[in-house]
Amino acid sequence: MLNVGLATASALLCLSTIARADGPLTLTDRQLDRVTAGGAIVFGTADAGASGIMPPLAQTNVTTIVGSSPGPVTPETAYAGLASGTAVSFGSNGLPSTPAPYGPATSNTSVGTAGGADGNYTLTISGAGTSSALGLTIQVGTTYVYGAFVPGL
């Protein structure tokens, strides 16, 4: 199996040296219809930490997805992406009247999302929020991006 992989890799390396461009080339409308007009990128981060006498809880999740409009790629193809992040932490020393021999309990989170899309019409929507009470901290963040090349715009 290794020999097949090496043979394939060496064949591709040889083929890549065959293609040579003499200069700029004007593309026909049919060729331009097969060119990708742009794209979208999104990313997210999430972090959580907690401390206390009771077993601390820290959990994070980040989800990203990117896609384009269905059908053949045309100059008017639209691109979109979504990034979502969640962080939850819980730190406690027990009942509020319980003294803390190692200092106060802590609970902290951090969530960040961002992105961008290509096009002469773009839209970016971002939002985030944090809620804390009784040693529990929950934070969420979301970014949505959309981009398209709209003729005449």
Q: pLDDT tens-digit profile of 130-150?
A: 999 888 999 999 999 998 887
With vertex at residue 109, the alpha carbon angle to CA 114 and CA 129, rounded to the nearest 5 degrees, is 60
Query: What are the structural domain ranges in the chain?
Result: 43-148
The per-residue b/e assignment along 104-128, b for 16 or more CB within 10 angstroms, e otherwise, is ebebbbbbbbebebbbeeeeeeeee
- Who wins on pLDDT, 78 or 113? 113
* 119 touches 148 (CB < 8 A): yes
Tokens of 106: 């802590």
Confidence class of residue 20 from pLDDT cuts 50, 70 and 90? low
CA 95 to chain CA mean position, Å: 40
- In the DSSP assignment, the letter for residue 39 is -
Average per-residue pLDDT for the chain: 79
- Nearest-angstrom CA–CA distance, 81 and 140: 17
**Residues 6+ away with beta carbon under 8 Å from 17:** none
pLDDT of the residue at 1: 43
- Nearest-angstrom CA–CA distance, 29 and 136: 59
- CB hemisphere CA count around 60 (13 angstroms): 15
Is the confidence at residue 36, as pLDDT, over 70? Answer: no
**What is the mean predicted confidence (pLDDT) over 15-37?**
61
What pLDDT digit, counting tens, does each position of 80-123 carry? 999 999 999 999 887 665 555 666 788 999 999 999 988 888 99
Is the confidence at residue 3, as pLDDT, over 60? Answer: no
β pairing state of 79-90 and 136-148: antiparallel
pLDDT of the residue at 118: 85
The owner of tokens 């053949």 is 72
Is the confidence at residue 2, as pLDDT, over 70? Answer: no
**What is the mean predicted confidence (pLDDT) over 38-48?**
89
